[in-house]
Structure 1
Amino acid sequence: MLQDAKSNGEHKADLYVLDIVWMAEFTRRGYIQPMDESRLSEKDLGDFVPKVMESCQLDQKLWALPLNSDVD
């Protein structure tokens, strides 16, 4: 994924499935773009645990959505 995401990468992927520890790295290096939150309704986001959603934000932008989590 890292090789694909770099500026000289092939950019074959439309979507990356990243562990949370990699999201900030990909964000800071400009390898991913923030999500267009205007396309997401409260219904789309309402089932996510708020603390988990916080982990998907950086610099007040939404960069990811959780695929799964192990929280209550």
Structure 2
Amino acid sequence: MDAGRRELHRLVDALPDDQVALLLADLRRRLTPGVASSRWPPAFFGMGVDRDGCLELSERVDEVLADGFGAPRS
């Protein structure tokens, strides 16, 4: 084990109990591949045309948002 890992072990052992959950969450986030787990394309892609084929979304923004902006199209 190199010096960096030994220091990491020492620091983890010295960590107060109330900080453990926060550190675990951060480490899990760092070790989880971000790109592979994210949804692509984002839900708002394709928002230029509504479900009925209408292109005038800016005029009906309140209606579009109430209808479920980014909701999956059927």
TM-score (norm 2): 0.21
Instruction: Give the number of the structure whose residues are more often helix, by fraction.
Output: 2
Greater gyration radius: 2
TM-score (norm 1): 0.22
Instruction: Give the number of the structure whose residues are more often strand, by fraction.
Output: 1
The structure showing larger relative contact order (alpha-carbon pairs under 8 Å, at least 6 residues apart) is 1
